[in-house]
């Protein structure tokens, strides 16, 4: 039986990681993998996470299951962090295996509710979005998003395309820090998106994986909160991997905002059912870390302060890189890097130019020219800037 399996295409980012590891050149720079690294190149365990784990270790008396939906303290704390004021009469939620698990469960839920739906996604989007949808056999329609000339949002194109979404379709939106481009909508543009969705009856599904990495915890959540307060039905997939630095704990949450209490109860039951069919009870350790931090004033303050340091470090690197490139190029054509937010920016380079960066300068980034700003430090920024100019980007 197993010999009948077909070979699967390797993940391009994971292939890039292995290629980077095998490169023996000194001074090589990894800008491919989507993981935060400090200036020493380490993905640290945050202070509040360490403290929370210590408290859990000292106080925990059992490793018994929680519930199919996950611990209520975690779900409530996450809803508060993402949504601010929580509409309890409309909100259903379940803990998930990371943000990716939340995305998968959201798509399964949407298909249960509307087997004929089409999913509308930005062009480009996180590649795993498309991979999951293809594996599930879901019809996908891409909407225009990134303007390769300005390196900003093609908002007119986006509006025209999402206006074609049908009632009950899913429109997947990045809550903040768009991956892979770093180009975000303004709040005024978000209001226009809400108006279009209200008119079409399409359901927004928000993937918010980088809250706190862009303009701050509340500012990054503002678009999601606007959508949630304006439309009758919203799906939200949130991740704790980045802002809590607990990547390997696989901690996420799926939230569904329903039109009324009856629909909320149906959603809650369906989401718990999906968890049961997929992995039964969700993992708890990462969720318990998060709820311990978010419900303790001292731990939350320390976590928020360290997260703010992370955010400001990335903003500083963005400004430094844009400044270096402005000086080397004698133009402002790279200023978009300072305006983008989150870990990523898309340079708009060709695959050949990206390959030249790797071959000539041992600088690794994804083939579409997505670079991870957090893979830099103050010393490597000038190296990257010079290599970008030498590659003719």
Catalytic: which of 51, 52, 69, 126?
126
Catalytic pick from 30, 161, 169, 207?
Answer: 207
> How far is Cα 170 from Cα 347, in angstroms, rounded to an integer?
29
Residue 347's H or E segment, with its range, is: none
In the annotation, is 207 catalytic? yes
Q: Which one of the listed residues 52, 69, 92, 242 is annotated catalytic? A: 242
Strands 29-30 and 363-364: what pairing? parallel
Separation of alpha carbons 319 and 248, rounded Å: 30
Is there a catalytic annotation at residue 209? yes
Q: Is 321 helix (H, G, I), strand (E, B) or coil?
A: helix
126 is catalytic: yes
Calculate helix-pair angle for 285-294, 297-329, nearest 10 degrees. Answer: 100
User: Which residue shows structure tokens 């678009």?
Assistant: 223
Q: How far apart (Å, rounded) are the C-alpha atoms in residues 212 and 343?
A: 11
What's the rounded Cα separation, in Å, for the pair 102 and 217? Answer: 20
CB atoms within 10 A of CB 246: 23
303 is an active site residue: no
In angstroms, what CA-CA distances link 46 with 33, 273, 295, 309?
20, 34, 17, 11
How many Cβ atoms from other residues are within 10 Å of residue 251's Cβ?
Answer: 31
177 neighbors 184 (Cβ within 8 angstroms): yes
Please choose, from the candidates 302, 223, 264, 254, the residue with its C-alpha nearest in 3D space to the C-alpha of residue 99.
254
- Where are the extended beta strands (E) located within the chain? 29-30, 91-97, 119-123, 140-144, 146-147, 152-153, 170-174, 203-208, 234-239, 251-257, 344-346, 363-364, 370-372
CA dist 90 and 93 (Å) reads 10
52, 92, 95, 209: the catalytic one is 209
Positions annotated as catalytic residues are 126, 207, 209, 242
């Amino acid at each position: 039986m197993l010999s009948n399996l077909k070979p699967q295409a390797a993940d391009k980012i994971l292939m890039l990681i292995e290629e980077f590891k095998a490169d023996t050149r000194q001074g090589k720079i990894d800008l491919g993998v989507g993981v935060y690294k400090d200036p020493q190149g380490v993905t640290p365990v945050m202070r509040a996470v360490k403290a929370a784990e210590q408290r859990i270790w000292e106080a925990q008396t059992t490793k018994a299951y929680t519930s199919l939906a996950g611990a209520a303290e975690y779900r409530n704390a996450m809803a508060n962090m993402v949504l601010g004021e929580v509409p309890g009469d409309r909100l259903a939620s379940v803990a998930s295996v990371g943000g990716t698990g939340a995305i998968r469960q959201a798509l399964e839920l949407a298909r249960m509710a509307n087997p004929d739906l089409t999913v509308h996604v930005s062009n480009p989007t996180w590649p795993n979005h498309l991979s999951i949808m293809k594996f599930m056999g879901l019809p996908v329609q891409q909407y225009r998003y990134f303007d390769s000339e300005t390196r900003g949002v093609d908002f007119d194109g986006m509006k025209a395309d999402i206006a074609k979404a049908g009632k009950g379709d899913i429109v997947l939106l990045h809550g903040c820090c768009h991956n892979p481009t770093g180009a975000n909508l303004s709040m005024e543009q978000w209001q226009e998106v809400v108006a279009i969705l209200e008119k079409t009856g399409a359901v927004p599904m928000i993937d918010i994986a980088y809250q706190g990495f862009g303009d701050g915890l509340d500012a990054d959540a503002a678009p999601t909160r606007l959508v949630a307060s304006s439309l009758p039905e919203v799906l939200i997939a949130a991740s704790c991997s980045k802002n809590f630095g607990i990547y390997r704990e696989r901690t996420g949450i799926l939230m569904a905002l329903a039109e009324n209490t009856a629909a909320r109860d149906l959603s809650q039951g369906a989401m718990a059912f999906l968890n049961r069919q997929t992995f039964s009870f969700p993992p708890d350790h990462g969720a318990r870390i998060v709820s311990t931090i978010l419900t303790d004033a001292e731990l939350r303050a320390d976590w928020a302060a360290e997260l703010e340091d992370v955010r400001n470090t990335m903003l500083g690197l963005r400004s430094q890189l844009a400044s270096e490139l402005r000086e080397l190029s004698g133009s402002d054509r790279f200023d978009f890097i300072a305006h983008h937010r989150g870990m990523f920016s898309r340079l708009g380079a060709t695959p050949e130019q990206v390959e030249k960066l790797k071959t000539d300068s041992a600088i690794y980034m994804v083939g579409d020219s997505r670079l991870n700003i957090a893979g830099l430090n103050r010393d490597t920024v000038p190296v990257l800037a010079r290599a970008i100019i030498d590659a003719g980007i």
